Each structure stands twice: as C-alpha cells, then as structure tokens.
Amino acid sequence: MKRIGIIGAGQLGQMLGFAGQNLDVEFVFLDPSPDPPASVVGPVLRLPFDSDEGLRQLASDADVVTYEFENVSVSAIERVCADTIVYPPLDALRISQDRLSEKQLFESLQIPVPPYRTIDSAQDLRNAANDIGLPLVLKTRRLGYDGKGQAVVRDEADLSDALTALGGSNLIAEQWVPFDCEVSAICVRNVRGDVLVYPLIENQHRDGILIISRAPAEANGLAALATRHLRQMLAHFDYVGVLTIEFFVAGDQLLANEFAPRVHNSGHWTIEGARTSQFENHLRAILDLPLGDVSPVGHAAMLNLIGSMPPKNLDLGSDTIFLHDYGKRPRPGRKLGHITVVASDPADRDRTVTRLSEILVAQANPTGIADCIDLSG
C-alpha cells in the first residue's frame, strides 16, 4: 500500500482522503491546526508547514508528497525533501506564489493576461493609472487568496489609500476587466504523461470568494482554447497532478487571471458530477496510475457554504443534491462546506439551484449566495 504525505489538512486534504478510499493508499498530513478537516482520513503531524522536523517526518513516512494549498515554503520543502518525490513540481508552486512571475510565465507561453504594471512606489501607481486606466485592481504579489490582499481603485483620489492599505510595494496593478464571465479550466497529467481535461467551469465570485460554479460552462465553446493554454503549462513544468487556470472571458478571448498547482474549489462538483473526481485523478496522477474518465455525468452546480451551515436536519428533498460538511467551526468568511446539484439539463439544474438558495438563505444565510442568485422571482 502506498503512503501519500499531504502538506495541509484542510477540506481539500479531506476530500483527497475520501477519494483515496477507492485506491490502495494511506495518508499522513502536516498541519499545525488543532482539529483540521483531514484528521478524519489520516494521522496529522501537528507541526508548522515549513518546520524541518515536520517536513522530514512527512517525507520519511510517505512514498510521495503533495500539497493542498500554495502558501507553503518551497525552500523548506527543497531543503528537507531533497530525496522525496514531490508533485506537482515545485517550480509550478514557486511561480504560483508570486503574481508577477505567474503573469510573466503566462506571457512567455503566449497565454493572454490583462494589462498590468509592477508597483513599488506612489509614482509607479500614478504611472500605471495613466497607462492602463481606471478602474484598476491593486494586488499584493504574494500571499493573496480569496480576494484578500487586493483593492479596486475607481478614481484617482483612492490611489494613495489603496497603496497604503496594501503595504506600498511588491504590488501589481491590473486593468479592471469588464468580463462577460469567469471560467476555470482543470486538467490532470500523470507521471507517464497522459493528460485529461475536465469541461470548462463557470464561476461566480463575491468579494473575491468563489460562491457558485456551474459545469459544463455555457462558454464551453472556449474549451479548446483553454485546453491549449493548459497544455502549454503542463509541458512547461513537465507537470504531474491536477492543474487549474482561472480565466476572464471577454468576447471570444480568454485572459488568464491565475493558476493553482492543486485540486481546486471550482472542481468540487466533479465528486458527484463527473465520472472521476479531480481528487481521485490527482491521486492517480501522482501515483502514476491510469487516469479516470473526466466526462460529466450531467449538468452540475456547486454552492460554497461560507460563514454558516444549514441545519443538520435540512431536507434537501432530492437525491441529486449532495451536502458536504467539512466539520469546521463556523466563522465569518470561512468555507465550511459545499452543496453540489447534478441535473440532466442546465435549466433543471438552475431551477434546483434557485430553490436551494431560497432555502439556504432563509435557514442559514451563508455569505454571498443571495448576491449571486436572483431570488426575486
């Protein structure tokens, strides 16, 4: 039986652990939190993510090491896990940690990005506002996630406050993209180089946090273009594992926003909505097993449950609605679980999503859903 070491024991680790129940594998996690979601699927080494002792123990306990979030120390992993197989490749992790190197990589691979400038001073920001125009989005280069570490600047009077709020340097100013929609593209590549691509996913965010994903996306006509971009990235890194790119759709253009070298929140629907989930396929990829079929089994939607969970006895009234509770303590803005709906056609799916949203907003009021679904009708 193979042992997989995972840095991070959050909900992504938990779902990887559940997916591993179909395979002959065991897990060990590294996470300092007292009661992380993945503790239900394997032992957790309760040490900091970048501690030499924790990483050494994880590496010695595991045949292959992977990670479930990006903000882990690449240099610590390189130092301690020199003789360990780590997938996805650490180069992908390193580049994904810095928005500037991420954009430079996209550009070098001819993957279009929104116009941007690097910002290290007030003068840089004034120049950027002149060059790329307002509104713009100011973002920290490192450690931003779920809309944290960014500010939308609508007029010149706000430039200085935004700059101060984000620390004044090591920033990126990006043109505000009046996108038609946002999509993510998820693919998987195993050690022997087989590649499969899930259908394109349409995502709705509120305050930078993902609220709803639908797949296959209406914009699935852009799937071939997205696949071309994914393949450029896979080849560049000689990549192994699940890889996600998030894009803005503007007409028939895809503008890359960011990539994640890991399983992704916008792919949770694949647990029930695809023949093989992104989680199982990530494990298959890093173990060099044949990949599983990525075809959808219908039309799926996923609603993130943020800040509060519905009551335990909530009757969802259908066997095509699946509630996932990560077992986390409620806190404002925290992802506590998600619900997936699978239907035979998009209209049916969207009716169920609206009905479900009404129930959720009435009973639990998780953040964001009411802003993303029109409940007025």
How many chain residues interact with ligand AMP (CB under 6 A)? 13
Stretch that binds ligand AMP, among 2-10, 176-184, 231-239, 273-281 (CB under 6 A): 176-184
- Selection from 302, 67, 293, 68 nearest residue 188 by Cα: 293
Site string for ligand AMP, 219-258 (x = CB under 6 A): ---------------------------x----------xx
Shortest distance (Å) from residue 300 CB to ligand AMP: 20
x/- map, 91-130, ligand AMP, by CB under 6 A: -----------------------x----------------
45-53, 169-177, 192-200, 283-291 -> range binding ligand AMP (CB under 6 A): 169-177
CA nearest neighbour of 190 among 241, 229, 243: 241
Six-digit token string for 30: 């590294």
Among 153, 177, 197, 303, the residue binding ligand AMP under the rule CB under 6 A is 177
For ligand AMP, give the closer residue by CB, 56 or 205: 205
Helices 11-20 and 278-286, axial angle in degrees (round to 10) = 70
Q: Are 71 and 141 in contact (CB under 8 A)?
A: no
- Could you give the 3-state DSSP secondary structure of residue 216? coil
Q: Least distance in Å: CB of 206 to ligand AMP?
A: 8
Complex with ligand AMP: residue 18 or 179, whichever CB lies closer: 179
Q: Does position 137 bind ligand AMP by CB under 6 A?
A: yes
Burial of 87 (0-12, 13-18, 19+ CB in 10 A): buried
Name the E strands within the chain. Answer: 2-7, 25-30, 44-45, 64-67, 85-86, 116-119, 136-140, 150-153, 171-175, 181-189, 195-197, 201-206, 209-215, 241-250, 253-260, 299-306, 321-325, 335-343
Q: Around Cβ 238, how many Cβ atoms within 10 Å?
A: 12
Cβ 218 vs Cβ 202: under 8 Å: yes
Query: Smallest distance from the beta carbon of 232 to ligand AMP, in angstroms?
Result: 20
Nearest to ligand AMP of 69, 176 (CB atom): 176
Min separation Cβ 174 and ligand AMP, Å: 4
Query: Is residue 147 close enough to count as binding ligand AMP by CB under 6 A?
Result: yes
Could you tell me which of 79, 77, 110, 114 has the C-alpha nearest to residue 92?
77
Binding site for ligand AMP (CB under 6 A): 114, 137, 144, 147, 174, 176-177, 182, 205, 208, 246, 257-258
